[in-house]
Structure 1
């Protein structure tokens, strides 16, 4: 709990004192069994370093925070850290390189229409894009999903991830 208290004090403080408290919070939490709190402290320390103009140090802390947040499944911390990383001049890579999570919104729309049986021309018309753009999206979708045919799309787009999202939605509706 000391690390969390130091982090909170660092957030309400200002200037060098704030940076020192946040750095101490990180050191304390590195020795603890609280990776989620460490991710928060790293993110807050990195953001404070960025605001203080210490961009190189900020990027190092923020990259550690982003990695740890992903490993903890802390999406909000990861999203906030990603924004700070970009503001610090970094260009973080996409969270996922392959699989459904790697698909952009446009690729996912095209993939779902293709899985529903639409041709490239029909997809292009439905989404107000060119046929060439639809083909390009599908090519990237196949690569990211590790498939080679349109017939494999439906299976690649459904499964455990979709079921997990549906279950989470059902739990949220009950709560």
Structure 2
């Protein structure tokens, strides 16, 4: 980017760095980049820069659990006229979550309406999964649970690990509030593992707080972990298999097919050298694995 700026004399705003810092929960860096982006955007009359800054602030604050601040930032995004870029389209999703958590159901509903205009115009699994997650936040009972599961199923078919993690997180939060602590732990563990793997520290800590509220402590990665360690999904499936669940039962719990479970178990066996389900418990809980399973 510096080479381009030097060669052309045209200043390029580093929106990517701002988005990355927001997803990773780096407050000081986001503050610095927002100031720089806002200054550059104002000097060039580039309104999209302000929109991106507000969207990044909303993502950051939702991760940190500062929902009133997230709502205020997202409100500015959804109040702006349509502008190019992803931020203006996904700003409503941040608004739904922040407004619901702030007790502002009316604003959340308006944001959902705006989000639907985007998702229905481009009905990919990513778009519809994000819509389902947002609808779930505004729903109750069986309707909410069905939507959370739809969100996880759709986002699980994409490469959008951050959004998948957030779907598991809000589902786990909902389950905990429904007093279904055991079910909540499974979702929150998955969310935490996805966030840690992605370097999303603020969201990971939010998931860890929720886990602690269920009476469980989130596992920590060992500094000695190698590339041969199990992935979060492999560890999750290995743990369930070690508890005696069948492939169809694991698939039903994780919203994946039995064939997908079999694929991951094959990789678990190859990585660990374990040759049977019965030996998995010894490996996972007996010190054979470098990363603790729970």
In structure 2, what is the equivalent of residue 26 of structure 1?
A: 152
- Distance (Å, rounded) in 2 between the aligned partners of 1:77 and 1:42: 11
- Distance (Å, rounded) in 2 between the aligned partners of 1:72 and 1:20: 27
In structure 2, what is the equivalent of residue 51 of structure 1?
A: 177
Query: Is there any run of 5+ residues in structure 1 with no aligned partner, and where?
Result: 100-175
- Distance (Å, rounded) in 2 between the aligned partners of 1:75 and 1:84: 14
Matches within 5 A, 1:1-175: 1-93=127-219, 95-98=220-223
Map Cα deviations across residues 91-146 of structure 1 (whole Å, 9 max, x no partner): 223x35449xxxxxxxxxxxxxxxxxxxxxxxxxxxxxxxxxxxxxxxxxxxxxxx
Q: RCO higher in 1 or 2 (8 Å CA, sep ≥ 6)?
A: 1
- Distance (Å, rounded) in 1 between the aligned partners of 2:202 and 2:134: 18
Structure 1 residue 16 displacement after superposition: 2.3
Map Cα deviations across residues 146-167 of structure 1 (whole Å, 9 max, x no partner): xxxxxxxxxxxxxxxxxxxxxx
TM-score for the superposition, normalised by structure 1: 0.53
Secondary structure at the aligned position of 2:185 is classed as: helix
What is the root-mean-square deviation of aligned Cα atoms in Å?
Answer: 1.5
- Distance (Å, rounded) in 1 between the aligned partners of 2:176 and 2:213: 8
Secondary structure at the aligned position of 1:20 is classed as: helix
Structure 1 residue 88 displacement after superposition: 1.4
Aligned 8 A contact 2:152 2:167 in 1: yes
Query: Is there any run of 5+ residues in structure 2 with no aligned partner, and where?
Result: 1-126, 225-294
- Distance (Å, rounded) in 2 between the aligned partners of 1:71 and 1:2: 24
Aligned 8 A contact 2:168 2:191 in 1: yes
- Distance (Å, rounded) in 1 between the aligned partners of 2:218 and 2:209: 10
